[in-house]
Structure 1
Amino acid sequence: MASSDNKLSPVEGIKDESNYLRGNLATEMVDGTDHFSKESIQLIKHFGMYQQDDRDARAASRAAGGSGKEYIMMIRTRLPAGLLTSKQLLEELDLCDDIGNGTLRITSRQATQFHGVQKSDVRQLMQRMKDVGLTTLGACGDVNRNVMCCPAPFKNNALHDEIQKVSFQIADHFAPRTGAYREIFLQDPETGEKVQVDENGQEIIEPIYGKHYLPRKFKMGICLPEDNCIDVYTQDLGMIAIHEEGKIIGYNILVGGGMGRTPSADKTYPALGLKLTFVAPEDLIGVCEAVVKVQRDYGNREDRKVARLKYTVRNMGLPEFKKKVEEYFGRALPEPHAADVTEFDDHKGWSAQGDGNWFYGLNVENGRIADLEGWTLKSAIREICATLEPGIHFTSHQDIIFSGIAEADKPKLEAILKKHGIALTSEISNTLRWSMACVAWPTCGLSITESERALPGMVDDLEKEVAKLGLEDEKFTMRMTGCPNGCARPYNSDIGLVGRAKEKYTMFLGGRRLGNRLSYIYKDMVPADEVVPELVKVMTVFKEQRQEGETLGDFCDRIGQEKLLEATGG
């Protein structure tokens, strides 16, 4: 480890003493309490689980003589490229009803989350997931998390087939090898550890991560230049698949992206990935492993606020970082390819797959799959999966794609959606189509204010104002988070709204839908009821002063904060 032992963060000590993430979890799973210990809540993250507290329920708990803590578990799946089957999704919907809070959520990393799970039901959920070929191992924690990849199900298309296949290979290669998950949560007598032996005959349980795993979470994603639908520049390690004449010739490797920041700590900041090198397909996993190992050995283990790869890269400097990667990989690496990202397709609506069938991308507002009065999305998805049995693909904008739909079944799918009160893609505004929010209050322990529950009302109000301005055809990303951690990637979008205090947000402008430019702080501490009026002022100026073909984000970037404030009246 890069840090001296006497300066290690407490989490490093917990991992060190855990015997490859086991700790006291086996005992705590049967101790009769509704929560895990302080040490164990750091370990369970590696198995896709966060211990949370329902802050909406605190008052009722205190009134009933309780501690005020209403412990629940959020459990996240690992779904490379967001791909699964109808059978698997139906089981997840059953699980959210049987042992969750009745809803399932699509994440901004193409996975799913269960909310409101009791500690006593954790094993049942994980075992039932295993029975349909799904896992939560490595969905969170100080390891490589869900590998993002364009999920578009184009058939007879070597490019999409290849990058989706590679995403699964990378996910398998970087999955934790410890048998703790199987022993503790699946109660499988086989440990599952793939033990290697070093030159001295010593067992190596985690050949990539080692005993202490990574200093912090690590995220990877793969895209094509013409479709950056996974926000490749926000990844710790991004891969742009460069192709010629229908064949992938290699990958541009980006390092050091990441969205999290702490406003009170100037040492933290959001960052976009930097171009490191161009590698041949056969060298991709080897170079990725070298990058991960450099982060393992040189990342900051003293201060978790600055432990992500983005800080390692910038503290070392990109040239020195590249030298270390070359050292771990075993040979020199070339300069990056000239190609870069050029577009972002959200894959909504109907698209021909290329094999005679179709796929349909459905907008799922903020990723929440639920049944509400007059809007029964969960029931609609159940009916589609049970009757049409489509392939399921989740997107980075928290939406769902149904694939393999026969021409004759297209009207059936639309009829099911309409019967359940679900708007078709052609019926929603661009304002809604390009918006998303994180979970935030009341369950996320990091959230300062509302996000998922606040953004829909703002979108409803804003889309009306956008139409009045005649800007309804404009495409602009609007993303909200309940804290600065940035899970919904607000710092590279056209409009970013980041929780700053209760019902107050920092407003960021000047990013872009393409995802390769950071935004700037336009205004801080904006009250929730002033967000839409402030945005209307900005869009009014945009309409009056934009250059031909200029997007909202490009306009805000060109004019800058000072001139924009002056133009809107401050």
Structure 2
Amino acid sequence: MSKEEYNNNHDNTNAMLLSDNERMKQESNFLRGTIAQNLDNNLTGGFNTKDAQLIRFHGMYQQDDRDVRVERANQKLEPLINMMLRCRLPGGVIMPEQWLAIDDFSEKYTLYGTIRLTTRQTFQLHGLLKPKLKIMHRLLNKLGLDSIATAGDVNRNVICTANPMESAFHHQVWELAKSISAHLLPKSRAYAEIWLDAEKTESIDFEPILSAAYLPRKFKIAIAIPPVNDVDIHANDLGFIAIKDDKINRIVGFNVLVGGGLAMTYGDVTTYPLKASEFGYIAAQDILKITEAVVTTQRDWGDRSDRRHAKTKYTLIRVGVTTFKAEVERRSGVKFHPIHPYIFTDRGDRFGWIQGIDHYWHLTLFIENGRISNNDPHKLLKRGIAEIARIHSGSFRLTTNQNLIISEVSKDNKRMVESILQKYGIMNDDITPQRKASMACVALPTCPLAMAEAERFLPEFITKIENIMLKYKLEKDAIILRVTGCPNSCARAMLSEIGLTGRSIGRYNLYLGGNSIGTRIPRLYRENITENDILNILDMTISSWARERTDQESYGDYVVRSGIVNAVTNSEKDFYE
């Protein structure tokens, strides 16, 4: 089925059927809206409803501090409105001088003074007040960075297997991540005009890939190098699994996966998490052709009337994988070949020192929930990393598991880095495997979608899980455990062995039965339960796992094999059964 045939049968362009977001985008004058005028409005700390949506395309979310919302309302004040800004950083590479400038800005100009590493391999700043936004964007531009397309209905930050300098293969996928990101960037000059005061030109904006309406929904791309699935490849709209030739030390092609997505809406069984589907194998040189074809097919065929069904996964369900795949082949001029064999054995970060083929050393630091601060007087994480940045001649690399790699450290500087880590109490020697295997989204107090705590809940909760693991002599083992404050699964809870999604303050849905390599979605075990309920269930199931596991069977595999939950197949009809 061609695009024309599809649109004849499914009139997605009919203005009467468009969602409010779609009309807003089409009327925005290529993402300008009235953002510039709103910036000059000193009567409020925020933007109007439409512009609050449009600034997302420029890399920002409008939020408020929910901890003080009621107090401010009692004082007849508007909420403490502020912005969260997310940097575009394909592949997660940032240089020490860039880091130091961001660190300094966060101290001087944000409400919280912290830096947050994200599961999309970049950093974000919380607590930016409207008068400071231009200062931030101009700083990013001066540093050779920007925040374009890190939010909104566009391709988001492109992620890839961490530490590209560890081998030639890692370097190749990092270069590809940058190429894909640049290829899919919005071409509108709105960002430069509004935030950098660039001169307006007579030329007319044109979006050859994204269109004037941009994409129906956000779009995420990831590149993995087996046997490590650290990017959670199945969570993405488009995934590339690298196939390498060790004889020539090159990546020769990619297995292509399409249509992954983990978000759902409570109470709506037409929404569900779904793994990406295998389309086939392509040669490495065809990656941009395939990328553009998948994006434009989703652009033209995605649902623009109901945002809950606008993601690529629902387009595949509606038209069928075979039809979507054939259209990608037609648009790209590239034929998919049979999937090349591959295997995933792990997906966590490799902590500690690793020596690369370049003879440099690379140190992966555990950053709990990605939050870099000096809030713990015994662990001055932010100050210590800044001091390392001042003496480090290599790079920093952010991982999709919210951790930080100090990369390309010479043998002579290795001891100096270690001494700084010890000085500020940020060595990872006492971090348990379970804590390293757990993560959470931001949630309260800043995320407007959060229904329950996540980042602030997880540390003490993991201590309780560690005690359970110790009780059953499993302290050297780990279970992939993730908590999100709502069902959007920003911390990828729907690819974990134990997943918690917030329902209300102090209550969560508990999902069990994902696997350790990220290729199975967990199933709902109990709904809307308290922390004590969760701990009792996990104590019982972990006890059984300790007694009955076979060989090195993971927790997720055990709860499926033992019948505690049935495995979720990659079917939209199966998740709720």
TM-score, normalised via structure 2 length: 0.93
Contact 1:182 1:190 in 2 (8 A): no
Partner residue, 1:568: none
Contact 1:496 1:507 (8 Å CA) reproduced: yes
Aligned residues: 552
1:444 equivalent in structure 2:
447
Residue of structure 2 equivalent to 1:93:
103
Q: Distance in 1 between matches of 2:300 and 2:339?
A: 24
Bigger CA drift: 553-562 or 538-547?
553-562
Aligned to 2:207: 206
**CA displacement 1:466-517 (0-9 Å, x = unmatched):** 1121111213211100000000000111111110122101111111221111
2:165/2:408 contact within 8 Å kept: no
Correspondence 1:148 to 2:149: no
Hey, what does 2:3 align to over in structure 1? none
| Structure 2 residue 390 is the aligned partner of structure 1 residue 379 | no
1:357 is aligned, of 360, 373, 377, to 360
Q: CA deviation at 1:291?
A: 0.4
Q: Which of 235, 251, 259 lines up with 1:256 in the alignment?
A: 259
Displaced runs of 4+ in structure 1, greater than 4 A? none
The separation in 2 between residues aligned to 1:190 and 1:560, in whole angstroms, is 64
* 1:505-548 deviations in Å (ceiling 9; x for gaps): 11111112211111111211120233333212110011111112
Q: Conserved in 2, the CA contact under 8 Å of 1:520 and 1:561? A: no
SS of residue paired to 2:528: strand
Q: CA deviation at 1:345?
A: 4.4
**Matched residue SS, 1:96:** helix
**Secondary structure, in 3 states, of the residue corresponding to 1:34?**
coil
- Provide the secondary structure at the position in 2 that maps to 1:518: coil
Cross-structure match for 2:54: 43
Shift of the alpha carbon at 1:95? 1.4
1:525 aligns with 2:528: yes
Q: What are structure 2's unaligned runs of at least 5 residues?
A: 1-10, 568-577
| Deviates further, 394-403 or 511-520 | 511-520
Q: 2:27 aligns with which of 6, 17, 27?
A: 17
Alignment of 1:62-81 (within 5 A): 62-67=73-78, 69-81=79-91
Name 1:485's counterpart in structure 2.
Answer: 488
- Residues 307-352 of structure 1: per-residue CA shift (max 9 Å, x gap): 1001001111111111111222135432322324333241211100
User: Displacement, 1:160?
Assistant: 1.1
CA contact 2:348–2:437 (8 Å) conserved in 1: no
State the one-letter code of the partner of 1:24.
Answer: T
Q: Displacement of 1:563 after TM fit?
A: 8.8
Separation in structure 2 between the aligned mates of residue 558 and residue 298 of structure 1, nearest angstrom: 39
* Secondary structure in structure 1 of the residue aligned to 2:210: coil
1:168 and 2:187 are equivalent in the alignment:
no
Distance in 2 between residues matched to 1:409 and 1:270, nearest whole Å? 45
Q: Hey, what does 1:399 align to over in structure 2?
A: 403
Matched, 1:158 2:152: no
Give 1:64 deviation, angstroms.
2.1
1:360–1:16 CA distance, 2 compared to 1 (3 A): same
Q: Could you tell me which residue of structure 2 aligns to residue 224 of structure 1?
A: 225
CA contact (8 A) 1:240 1:340 kept: no
Distance 1:90 1:531 in 2: 41
User: Which one is further off, 514-523 or 327-336?
Assistant: 327-336
The residue number in structure 2 matching 1:28 is 38
Q: Is contact 1:104–1:370 with CA below 8 Å preserved after alignment?
A: yes
1:465 is aligned to 2:468: yes
**Matching of residue 429 in structure 1 with residue 440 in structure 2:** no
Task: Please state how far the C-alpha of 1:413 moved relative to its aligned partner.
Answer: 1.8
- The Cα of 1:374 is off from its aligned counterpart by 2.0
Residue from 555, 560, 565 that aligns with 1:557: 560
**What SS is found at the alignment partner of 1:450?**
coil
> Which residue among 120, 125, 128 is the counterpart of 1:114?
125
Does the Cα contact within 8 Å between 2:523 and 2:565 map onto a contact in 1? Answer: no
Q: What do the CA deviations read for 1:85-122 (whole angstroms, capped 9, x no partner)?
A: 00111111111112112011000111111001101111
The alpha-carbon deviation at position 388 of structure 1 amounts to 2.7
How many Å separate the matches in 2 of 1:70 and 1:111?
25
TM-score by length of 1: 0.94
1:183-214 per-residue CA deviation (whole Å, 9 max, x = no partner) reads 001112166x9x7xxxxxxx661110010000
8 Å contact kept, 1:153–1:403: no
CA positional deviation for 1:17: 0.5
Distance 1:65 1:534, change over 3 A: same
Q: How has the CA–CA distance of structure 1 residues 328 and 204 changed in structure 2, closer, same or farther, with 3 Å as cutoff?
A: farther
Q: CA deviation at 1:367?
A: 0.3
Aligned to 1:200: none
**1-structure distance, mates of 2:156, 2:545:** 39
- Partners in 1 of 2:334 and 2:404 — Cα distance? 42
In 2 relative to 1, CA 350–562 (structure 1 residues): closer, same or farther, beyond 3 Å? closer
Counterpart CA distance in 2 for 1:465 and 1:445 is: 33
* Per-residue deviation, residues 44-84 of structure 1 (Å, max 9, x unmatched): 100100001211011221232213x2211011001101101
Distance in 2 separating the partners of 1:154 and 1:207? 34
Alignment check: 8 A CA contact 2:513 2:521 kept = yes
Correspondence list, 1:330-341, <5 A: 330-341=333-344
Deviation at 1:412, TM superposition (A): 2.4
SS of 1:375 mapped into structure 2: coil
Aligned equivalents of 2:393, 2:468: Cα separation in 1:
40
Cα separation, partners in 2 of 1:59 and 1:263, compared to 1, 3 Å: closer
1:161 is displaced (CA, Å) by 1.3
- Once residues 268 and 24 of structure 2 are traced to their aligned partners in structure 1, the CA distance between those partners, rounded to angstroms, is 25
Q: How many angstroms apart in 1 are the aligned matches of 2:334 and 2:87?
A: 36
Partner of 2:282: 279
Q: Choose the corresponding residue for 1:128, options 126, 134, 139.
A: 139
Distance 2:545 2:416 in 1: 42
| Cα 1:93–1:562 shift into 2, 3 Å | closer
CA–CA distance in 2 between the matches of 1:389 and 1:486?
Answer: 36
Per-residue CA deviation, residues 199-234 of structure 1 (Å, 9 max, x unaligned), is xxxx66111001000000000000112111111111
Q: Which runs of 5+ in 1 are unaligned?
A: 196-202, 565-570
How far the C-alpha of 1:248 sits from its partner, in A, is 1.3
Corresponding residue to 2:550 among 547, 551, 560: 547
